Amino acid sequence: MIMEQEIVKTALLGTGNYPFEPKIFPTDIQESLTETKNREINYLNALTLYKAYLEAGVTLEQVENISEHIPLAPDEILPLCSEEMVDFLRLILLENEGSWISFFPNFIDIVLEEKVILPSKYFSKIEQPTEKTIEAFGEKAKWIHSLKEIVADKEIDYLSLKKAQRYKYFTDLVYKNNEEESIAFLEELFDASTPSERLRYMKVIEVKTEGAIKVIEFFDDYIKNNPSKSKNLKATQIKIKLNEKNSSLFESYYQEVFSKIWINKDKSYVLLEQEELDKLLKPLAFFTTTDETLEFILELTPIEYWLKMMDIKSKDFLEKVKNSKITYRKERFFEGWMRQAMKKRDEALLYELLALNVPIPHAGVINVFEEDKIFDFVEQYANYFVQEQISLIEMFKTDSTFHTEWTRSFSFAILKELIEGKTYYYKREWTKAIWTIAAYLHMDAMVWLEQKLKEPQCSSDFEDLEEHFGEIMKMKILFEKIKNNVKR
């Protein structure tokens, strides 16, 4: 293995986890290393000596692809954290999966707030460190992380990535609005991908068309130049272009097709019957069924278009649809309009939909609200989420708005609905669920849950959670102690 690969592996895994082999360095340097010193010091000395030789212009044994710009490991600027924080870090590493979900990112925030650093010897245990995590482990961690940039090939070999990694990599590029690299990625992989993989890449853009003009143009050119490979892509490309802001394509579709799902009959607009609707929507082929195509149209077309066409108020319009006698699923209308409310952050439309008490199972409703209103909304409608079997836990995990200390009332409202309401997790999933929110829960709610789990019925229903709750509580108590010490 070439020297630079050994350097990266040793730096990333740490000398405590990966055997430092002095023989990777030229013989001149090997002779200067002292066996009595620990492996980390030897490793740092070897890198420092190598850099000194290079700067002095002394030619050592030629090693393929070695970087000529290996920096010195800098001294730490901030003081080491308290032993209490070290104990908590060890506990996180010991508990592993559960503790990483909510405790670790919150703990890192506390370390940064306290302006201290974690021991760098634990840095190698962090598989995918964020910028905040690197900062929390200090200058040594920054240096170790920078080695990967310095000695590794900076050009990404997309073909070397696994399929799941490729999809995630492309999604990250799109959401960072990195069009230049997105195009480079597609130019290398798109044609060589399977039809289902091509479609999957396109669906990323279908969700996020903003900032993807060049990527959309790439798809246009590909479909035009490769018709035999694009049969399953054409419908998705039309959907992408219809979703673009100020789309002229949408206006033409609205005039020619979308507006005609309603018919003016006896001075009142009514929906087309199933057979007529099938006939109208069949040429579009957005989806395999009329219901799915209709839902897409309803989500895509601003509700104001229908209100203006019918000269009717929003509340009356929604009631009209709810009470209409149609053979196809009414839920399609409200599901489409809920997604429209989310996309446009239309709070008024959302509440009008909720007032109708129709099934609208979509956790993304919280995106409608400004941050200061989200907690009140979720607390008020906690039972609604549970009844619709929307995973509050998954919502809290993925939405960064909730990654802050919860109030006592919010903590109790959520726990009571989860534990006392309709449970929709498998028994073992409850342990993961409580791990996910434990760092944010008010301590009083944790104590209430601990007592609740001792009741005979709960002990039976949540056997796995009761068994592991002691570990969660131990972590929570230490976390609160550290947090309170920092606040003083």
CA distance 262 to 268: 10
Q: Is the pLDDT of residue 448 over 90?
A: yes
pLDDT given at position 240: 85
Residue from 38, 267, 397, 265 nearest 276 by CA: 265
User: For tokens 């760098």, what's the residue?
Assistant: 120
Q: Is the pLDDT of residue 62 over 60?
A: no
**398-444: pLDDT as tens digits:** 777 888 889 999 899 888 877 776 455 556 677 888 888 899 999 99
63: confidence class by pLDDT, cuts 50, 70, 90? very low
284: confidence class by pLDDT, cuts 50, 70, 90? confident
Residue 136 is given by DSSP the state H
**223-269: pLDDT as tens digits:** 999 988 888 888 888 888 888 767 888 899 999 999 998 888 877 88
Task: Please give the sequence-ordered ranges of beta strands (E in DSSP) within 381-429, or none if there are none.
Answer: none
377: confidence class by pLDDT, cuts 50, 70, 90? confident
Q: Is the pLDDT of residue 61 over 80?
A: no
pLDDT given at position 55: 54
Q: List the domain boundaries for the chain.
A: 3-56, 83-151, 158-245
pLDDT given at position 70: 55
4: confidence class by pLDDT, cuts 50, 70, 90? low
Between 324 and 472, where is the model more confident? Answer: 472
pLDDT given at position 153: 46
**178-209: pLDDT as tens digits:** 899 999 999 999 998 999 999 999 998 888 88
Contact assessment for residue 72 and residue 55, using Cβ atoms and an 8 Å cutoff: no
Residue from 363, 371, 375, 450 nearest 406 by CA: 375
pLDDT given at position 67: 46
14: confidence class by pLDDT, cuts 50, 70, 90? low
pLDDT given at position 66: 44
H helix runs in 23-130, sequence order: 27-30, 39-56, 83-95, 97-101, 103-114
